[in-house]
Structure 1
Amino acid sequence: MFKGFKDFIMRGNVVDLAVGIVIGAAFTAVVTAFTNAFLKPLIQLLGGNTSATAGKWTVGAVAFDYATFINAVITFVLTAAVLYFLVVYPLNRLAERRKRGEEPPPEAPSEEVKLLTEIRDALVRQQVAPGAVNDILGRHQQQDPPRH
């Protein structure tokens, strides 16, 4: 059970995914700080005159903070755009280059493998009995003497 888990964790895809998530989370924090510090105040300036109601509208006693929602949408779009253009697009281009033929062709089997394959195929064609393979190859199994 633990070996399977270790194999799963040690795959390159899982490690790359974990690194991507950590970098994405850190980058999202930077973009969120930027939009909170610069863009949200601009949205609030455009939305109202007073600082208490800027970027909000009120219905009864309930305030709807639309500036925060617009800020979150901008944060998402900026994060997605930067991750696409700096991570996804370059990796897709690299994968395309690999597909175009930069991968080496598979190696031809060695002479020993070819010879063993021919022997196997010849034995299958002759439908040799299972023990006869050892006789053909000169292998003799030693039998234990009978016990009394």
Structure 2
Amino acid sequence: MLSEFKNFILRGNVLDLAVGVIIGSAFTAVVKSFTNNLISPLLGIFLGKVDFSKIVLTVGSAQFKVGMFVNDIINFIIIAFVIFIIIKAVNKIVKKQDAAVIPSKEEEYLKDIRDLLEKQAK
């Protein structure tokens, strides 16, 4: 059972996922800092408040942290946009690689021979 677990952990997909989660966490921290330290003050200038994250709507004893919610929405939009750009770039690279792999005449002949042999075997 221990060797099965070791094989599972050392598979490429699990390691790639772990790296992705770690990089994603670090990227999220950078985006959060970007939003809190650059975007929010910029929006605060237009809204007349210096600290945008402190906008709170109080109803009775309940406090609705509208500014923090807006910060989180901005974080989400930035992260989603970056992921969108990365996926578009990766798809473009993969498309170019697929187009670059043009089979040679020999490969085409071998495929034709393989197909004919498969037909004869049936």
TM class by smaller structure: 0.5 to 0.7
CA distance 1:101–1:47, change in 2 (3 Å): closer
1:57 matched residue in structure 2: 57
- Distance in 1 (CA, whole Å) between partners of 2:74 and 2:56 is 17
Which of 59-68 and 10-19 deviates more?
59-68
Deviation at 1:46, TM superposition (A): 4.2
Deviation at 1:50, TM superposition (A): 8.4
Structure with the larger helix share:
2
* 2:44/2:50 contact within 8 Å kept: no
* 1:40/1:68 contact within 8 Å kept: no
Amino acid at match of 2:79: T
Deviation at 1:37, TM superposition (A): 0.9
CA distance 1:96–1:50, change in 2 (3 Å): closer
CA distance 1:50–1:25, change in 2 (3 Å): closer
Map 1:64-75 → 2, pairs under 5 A: 64-75=64-75
What is the aligned residue count? 105
- Distance in 1 (CA, whole Å) between partners of 2:14 and 2:94 is 18
Amino acid at match of 1:32: K
Map 1:9-48 → 2, pairs under 5 A: 9-47=9-47
Larger gyration radius, structure 1 or structure 2: 1
CA distance 1:47–1:101, change in 2 (3 Å): closer
Deviation at 1:71, TM superposition (A): 0.7
Q: Tell me the TM-score normalized by structure 2.
A: 0.64
What root-mean-square deviation, in Å, do the aligned CA atoms of Structure 1 and Structure 2 show?
3.2
- Secondary structure of the 2:55 match is coil
- The alignment-based identity, stated in percent, is 39
* 2:32/2:75 contact within 8 Å kept: yes
1:80 matched residue in structure 2: 80
Amino acid at match of 1:21: V
Specify every segment of 5 or more residues in structure 2 that has no aligned partner in the other structure, as ranges.
111-122
